[in-house]
Amino acid sequence: MILRAFRYLGQHTLRYLAVLGYASRMFGIVLCAIPRLGRRLRLVMDQLYFVGNHSLLIIAVSGLFVGFVLGLQGYYTLNKYGSEQALGLLVALSLVRELGPVVTALLFAGRAGTSLTAEIGLMRAGEQLAAMEMMAVNPLSRILAPRLCAGIIAMPLLAAVFSAAGIFGGYLVGVGLIGVDTGAFWSQMQAGIDVTGDVGNGVLKSVVFGVAVTFIALFQGYEAKPTPEGVARATTRTVVLASLTVLGLDFLLTALMFH
Partner 1 sequence: MNKSTLDALVGLFVLVGIVALLFLALKVGNMSALSFTPTYMVSAHFENIGGLKVRAPVKSAGVVVGRVAGISFDDQRYQATVTIALEQRYHFPKDSSAKILTSGLLGEQYVGLEAGGESDSLAEGSIMSMTQSAIVLENLIGQVLFNRAADGGAKKEPPVMRK
Partner 2 sequence: MQGSDPYVMANINTPLAALRQVDFSYSPGERLILSGLDMVFPRGKVIALMGGSGSGKTTVLRLLGGQLFAQRGTVEFAGRDIAQCDTAQLYAARRRMGMLFQFGALFTDMSVYDNVAFPLREQGDLSESIIRDLVLLKLNAVGLRAACHLMPSQISGGMARRVALARAVALDPELIMYDEPFAGLDPISLGIAARLIRRMNDALGATSILVSHDVEESFGIADYVYFLAHGKVAGQGSPAEIRASDDATLRQFFDAQPDGPAPFHYPGSSLEEDFGVTTLRSTA
Which of these, 69, 60, 86, 67, lies nearest to 168 by C-alpha position? 67
Angstrom distance (rounded) from CA 143 to CA 133: 11
Nearer to partner 1, 48 or 123 (CB): 48
CB contact at 8 A, 62 and 258: no
Q: Is 130 in the site for partner 2 (CB under 8 A)?
A: yes
133 binds, among partner 1, partner 2, none (CB under 5 to 8 A by kind): partner 2
131 binds, among partner 1, partner 2, none (CB under 5 to 8 A by kind): partner 2
Size of the residue set binding partner 2 (CB under 8 A): 13
Angstrom distance (rounded) from CA 147 to CA 153: 10
Angstrom distance (rounded) from CA 192 to CA 169: 19
CA distances from 60 to 54, 146, 150, 159 (A): 11, 24, 19, 9
Residue 199 exposed, middle or buried by CB count within 10 Å (0-12, 13-18, 19+) = middle
CB of 131 to partner 2, least distance (A): 4
Helices (H) and strands (E) in the chain — how many of each?
12, 0
**Interacting residue with partner 1 among 134, 196, 251, 259 (CB under 8 A):** 196
CB of 167 to partner 1, least distance (A): 6
Q: Is 39 in the site for partner 2 (CB under 8 A)?
A: no
**Interacting residue with partner 1 among 164, 184, 211, 257 (CB under 8 A):** 164
CB of 224 to partner 2, least distance (A): 16
Which of these, 142, 117, 145, lies nearest to 131 by C-alpha position? 142
At 161, which amino acid appears? Answer: V
Q: Is 228 in the site for partner 2 (CB under 8 A)?
A: no
Q: Is 99 in the site for partner 1 (CB under 8 A)?
A: no
Q: Is 14 in the site for partner 2 (CB under 8 A)?
A: no
58 binds, among partner 2, partner 1, none (CB under 5 to 8 A by kind): none
CB of 55 to partner 1, least distance (A): 9
Please report, as ranges, the residues that interact with partner 2 according to CB under 8 A.
126-128, 130-138, 142
